[in-house]
Amino acid sequence: MGIERITPSQAQERQRRGIRLIDVREPHERAGGAAADSLGVPKAELEADPGAIAQNRGEPLMLICERGGRSLQAAERLHALGYSSIASVDGGTSRWIGDGLPVVRDETQGDTNFHERYSRHLRLPEVGIAGQRRLEAADVAMIGAGGLGSPIAFYLAAAGVGRLTIADDDVVDRSNLQRQILHTDDAVGTRKVDSARARVAALNPDVDVRRFAERVTAANVERLIGDADVVIDGADNFPARYLVNDACVKLGKPLVYGAVHRFEGQASVFDAGRRRGQAPCYRCLFPEPPPPEAAPNCAEAGVLGVLPGVIGLVQATEAIKLILGIGDSLAGRLLHFDALAMRFRETRLTPDPDCVVCAPGRSFPGYVDYATFCAGG
């Protein structure tokens, strides 16, 4: 006999006859509502040791999950192991609840909002509850609340990063709205950090947004990023980029870099502060800034409105990976994106052994007048 697929009503009727119903979801999922009288056994645990639940492989069993997919997979696994009478509940707990059948909730499983909001993260083995708690405890400092900062702020807030420190001294202008989706028309004329905080709070009120309506300078940079686990460069000018890079090297902070120009963008991770001689810093890539006429800003050269969204999402992804300690970061790689050709390419970056800021054994040279430095003075 193969896998039988049954309705929630059929499952309830069989429960009355003494056939066991096993909920293969995780405990935090059951907390939001589970079929009455079901036994909670996570799918991985059931598949690893089904004999702990049913030693008799001929015993009839019913499996249920959220919508029916995982329970069917588990049923197929048990059937392959010799269990001959397995049924899976089509539509799962969602349909069970929709059909008005009796439900129990386990309030001991903790914060329902946490489990519901981040349920798709919690199902990822690479994240899980432990990883989500790391995100919740993390502090990300974001320099700039403009085109790059907009998608970064939204997605880090949605992911559950506990604190966002946002530094930007600008106010919302109507010309920003073509790409800076963090702001709305009714925010024109208000401070970007205030507009950002309002939009982040509307998405995820649990995120603590620290606002600094200040231009980043040598005098305040360490105060702005000193508590951060990850720093994100969303600036639109070279003086800020060099300054933030130097501060991250000095303080040992990973820096997620992004930049856009017309139809092209690039992103990387500069982690020289923690990995001297192994990972490059921004100065290893650009020892000296280009002349102003060779790198006009968005106001002068224009930018495709969706471009900062693409690069900003790459930056947000890298920040989350750094917090969780998963995957391979862009450290040592520069990712280029050409929107017109819809093409990504990658350039390998190596640390400069003579870098004035991050060379191994070299003491921090101190902050400089970055505006003069970038102007070629």
- How confident is the model over 179-219, as pLDDT tens digits? 999 999 999 999 999 999 999 999 999 999 999 999 999 99
Which of the residues are catalytic?
298
The yes-or-no verdict on residue 351 having pLDDT over 80 is: yes
Give percent of the chain above pLDDT 70: 95
Same domain, yes or no, for 370 and 264?
Answer: yes
Res. 292 pLDDT band, cuts 50 70 90: low
Total domain count, the chain: 2
The yes-or-no verdict on residue 295 having pLDDT over 60 is: no
Same domain, yes or no, for 44 and 177?
Answer: no
Q: Is residue 82 part of a domain?
A: yes
Same domain, yes or no, for 277 and 353?
Answer: yes
CA neighbor of 258 nearest in space, from 249, 248, 268: 268
**Cα distances (angstroms) measured from residue 306 to each of 256, 298, 309, 323, 339:** 19, 13, 5, 26, 9
- Rounded to whole angstroms, how far apart are CA atoms 68 and 95? 9
Q: Is residue 115 part of a domain?
A: no
Segments forming the whole domain that contains residue 353: 122-374
For residues 296 and 98, the model is more confident at 98
**Cα distances (angstroms) measured from residue 334 to each of 64, 140, 243, 259, 343:** 46, 21, 20, 11, 14
The yes-or-no verdict on residue 342 having pLDDT over 80 is: yes
CA neighbor of 123 nearest in space, from 13, 43, 55, 34: 43
The yes-or-no verdict on residue 283 having pLDDT over 60 is: yes
Q: Report the CATH number at residue 21.
A: 3.40.250.10
Which of 54, 84, 110 is the last residue before a domain boundary?
110
Same domain, yes or no, for 27 and 88?
Answer: yes
Same domain, yes or no, for 178 and 206?
Answer: yes
Q: Is residue 288 part of a domain?
A: yes
Q: Is residue 260 part of a domain?
A: yes
Res. 23 pLDDT band, cuts 50 70 90: very high
Does the pTM exceed 0.85? no
Q: Report the CATH number at residue 332.
A: 3.40.50.720
- How confident is the model over 113-148, as pLDDT tens digits? 888 899 889 888 899 888 999 999 999 999 999 999
